[in-house]
Structure 1
Amino acid sequence: MSENNIQNTPLHAMSVTVTQTNESSKRSRSSTSPDSPPESRFVSVLDFSTWKTKLLLLESVVNLKDTTITDLSMKVTQLMKRVEQLENELKDVNEKTKLLDSDVHQQKQQQDILLEQQNNLKQQQETIQQQQQQFQQQPTDQGLASWVSVASRAVARVEGKKVNRTPQQIEVLNSVVSEQRERERRKRNVIVFGVPMSSKTTPEGQDADDKGFIERAFRAIKADVKKIKNIRRFKANPSSNRPAPILIQLYGDGDRSVILKAAKELRKLTEYCEVYINPDMTEAERILDKKRREDRYNLNQQERNNSSNTRYFISGDGFRKFTVEAGCGADTQMQQ
């Protein structure tokens, strides 16, 4: 009798020995060896195959679960990284939001400041318009000596009206406009005559000497030096022995009248008795001023011929009288 031993070791199971016998061998063992194990110790080939298949299935399921767990772990790790990235992005967004809020607040403050300035400008504009209306309502029937003033009044009368003008009228009106612009440009300037030329050889040194002389003269007549914006000497005339005049630019519109009023004190000072401060005039103003000076000279000459101590000085478009006192190169004005 032949006996075949089959040994197989499935995964996740202990080794099992299977012995295949026939009926004669079973009976022989039963008869020959009373101590042999019972028949239940032997497993059939069919049952073994079934168990083996189940074990393989269980092993596949376990492997599949292990793979699934590994995949889930990787996904959880990726999700955690994504959450961390989103948190960082959220922090950046919050910081940018704070910066934007700060910018909005600053812009709002600037807007409030601009609105306040706009309101102030509107108030100033209304004030200027009221002053302009008051000025326009003032009587204008006073006689004006210059053709420029007469032409200006003519322009004011036809302003805003469509009228047919001759080329000569247009030329006159253009001249008036140009004259007004030139006067506006010069209204803060004065010209100083009689300032000695500097002995310095460099332009910087000459400018420094001119500035020092002007400032000393201003202090001598108690004029505010801070009103001076710029000092510039004109180019010298080669055909004249006189020093070139100096142009002084002032800051305020009303500074020129203050300086011209104080300049009368220069004639009382020995150091500055040959220095004169005059307004910066346009060509038309210089022509009219020259005519008034000639008329004043003729009037004063008549008084001198009569041995009178009465003199005339220019006041606006006319003349006023004053008495003569001893001075330096000029008469001292004392109103009668």
Structure 2
Amino acid sequence: MSDSNTIDFKNPSTFILLGIPGLEAAHIWISIPFCTMYAIAILGNFIILFIVKMEPSLHGPMYYFLCMLAITDLVLTTSTLPKMLAIFWFNSREIDFSACLTQMYFIHSFLEIESGILVAMALDRYVAICHPLRHSAILTNLIVAKIGLAVVLRGCIVILPYPFLASQWPYCRTNIIPQPYCAHIAVVNLACTDTHVSSYYGLFVLFCVMGLDVIFIAVSYVLILRAIFSIPTKDARLKTFGTCISHLFVILAFYIPGLFISLMHRFGHNVALHFHVLIANLYLLMPPALNPIIYGVKTKEIRGRLLRLFTHEGA
């Protein structure tokens, strides 16, 4: 390692993002699917927001939460992809220390917000199926706004210690981050002091925040399935369950890659570093790109409004 990488970085002015370590020669090719997913995420989520805004029949709790999900996905992708593409296309690897901590905060806080929104959507499906006659009385616009505010505040507050602690550690090993963005654990691993506080807090967030979200969603669907199976006719059961399909697909697209990454970090020590990094990148990119497609294909109201939009324009 060169001397420039081993000098004292107690107060580093910049970090160096490597992109995909070991695959630098393929960065241009890797950027093609990444850029495509970014374009799909931007276009798809803006279309969702536009359709919900323009269609009065979609002004309800489910679609308000869907708009929150779309905004969250837009922020999440925009906080990572532009810098990522700059690395792939222009070899622009430097990132200011404060900008790195800001990016870290946005990535992790909006992941927490997205998890909270999925919980809110599970609550909406539970009330709609288990208490259909009281749905509009329980989930009023005011209650939906309060739930949305609580989800955003939780995500913003619970992640605040990440950049705060990271800014306190001395960095004297290297300023090279073997990723195309500033992930929490990647930055903390560069510190040359005991960072157990950051590690333990990261585990707390993983298990006690997102873990509780998963439990809440699971309990909601147990109650939902119990209510569905109590419906006498098969067609009515299938129709009712169909209202949950989009949400279930979005849940799987968000939590399964996250679980896979957690397991790989702990048990996949023999897995190549570039595979770790690629999977972590897909975890940030795939849900924002897939969510509008899932809801566009599986939700009849959105699909119908989209078809009418293009048919009208075509006419």
TM range (shorter): under 0.3
Larger radius of gyration: 1
Structure 1 or 2: more helix by fraction: 2
Compute the TM-score of the two structures, normalised by the length of structure 2.
0.24
Compute the TM-score of the two structures, normalised by the length of structure 1.
0.23
